[in-house]
């Protein structure tokens, strides 16, 4: 459910991703379904936080401006996948919530 916040309209990357990582489970899931994870990572980088609630959406927008961890949630082939960028932007990881 998108919310009308500045970051949602960005078409350009808003922050560096750092090292891109994905868990073996996410990679296997995407491969099994013929889905690339990169489009979801790019949505995350452009401030489309996916299916997070209003409170988490606002927390991401604040973290984007002031530094902090960023979390997006997307349903990919019927499974929730989180994409998390560390506060220092050293890495961005795609993982299942159960792998956190």
In order along its 100 residues, the chain shows pLDDT tens digits of: 333 344 445 689 999 999 999 999 999 999 999 999 999 999 999 999 999 999 999 999 999 999 999 999 999 999 999 999 999 999 999 999 999 8
Enter the tokens of residue 57: 């959406």
Decide if 25 is inside a domain: yes
Decide if 87 is inside a domain: yes
Enter the tokens of residue 50: 């996916």
- Tell me, what's the pLDDT at 10? 62
Predicted TM-score (pTM) of this structure: 0.89
| Domain extent for 23 | 19-99
Decide if 54 is inside a domain: yes
Bridge-based pairing state of the strands 70-76 and 19-22: unpaired
Decide if 80 is inside a domain: yes
Total number of domains in the chain? 1
- Tell me, what's the pLDDT at 83? 98
- Tell me, what's the pLDDT at 20? 98
Decide if 11 is inside a domain: no
Enter the tokens of residue 25: 């489970």
Cα 2 from Cα 87, distance rounded (Å): 23
Residue 24, Cβ density class (10 Å: 0-12 exposed, 13-18 middle, ≥19 buried): exposed
- Tell me, what's the pLDDT at 2? 37
């Amino acid at each position: 459910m998108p919310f009308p916040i500045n970051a949602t309209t960005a078409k350009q990357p808003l922050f560096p991703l750092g090292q891109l990582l994905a868990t073996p489970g996410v990679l296997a899931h995407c491969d099994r379904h013929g889905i690339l994870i990169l489009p979801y990572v790019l949505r995350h980088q452009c401030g489309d936080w996916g299916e997070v609630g209003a409170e988490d959406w606002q927390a991401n927008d604040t973290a984007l401006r002031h530094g902090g961890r960023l979390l997006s949630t997307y349903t990919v082939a019927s499974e929730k996948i989180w994409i998390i960028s560390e506060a220092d932007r050293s890495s961005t990881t795609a993982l299942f919530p159960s792998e956190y």
